[in-house]
Structure 1
Amino acid sequence: MYVVHFFENKNALLVQLRNSLPAEGDNLTIKGRKGKVSSVNNIDEKMIHVQVILEVVNKNKQIVDLSKKKKR
Structure 2
Amino acid sequence: MFAVHFIEKNNVLLTQLLNRVPTEGEELKIKGRKAKVASVKIIDDLNIHVQVTIEVVNKNKLVVDNSKKKKR
Q: Same fold (TM over 0.5)?
A: yes
Aligned twin of 1:11: 11
Equivalent residue pairs, number? 70
Counterpart residue identity of residue 53, structure 1:
T
Over the residues paired in the alignment, what is the CA RMSD in angstroms?
1.8
Give structure 2 stretches of 5+ with no counterpart: none
Superposed CA offset, 1:46-65 (max 9, x none): 00000000100224422434
TM-score if structure 1 supplies the norm length? 0.86
State how far apart, in whole Å, the 1-side matches of 2:26 and 2:69 are.
48
Superposed CA offset, 1:9-64 (max 9, x none): 11110000000000000000000000100000000100000000010022442243
TM-score if structure 2 supplies the norm length? 0.86
Aligned twin of 2:24: 24
State how far apart, in whole Å, the 2-side matches of 1:18 and 1:33 are.
19
> Runs of 4 or more off by more than 3 Å in structure 1?
none
Aligned twin of 2:42: 42
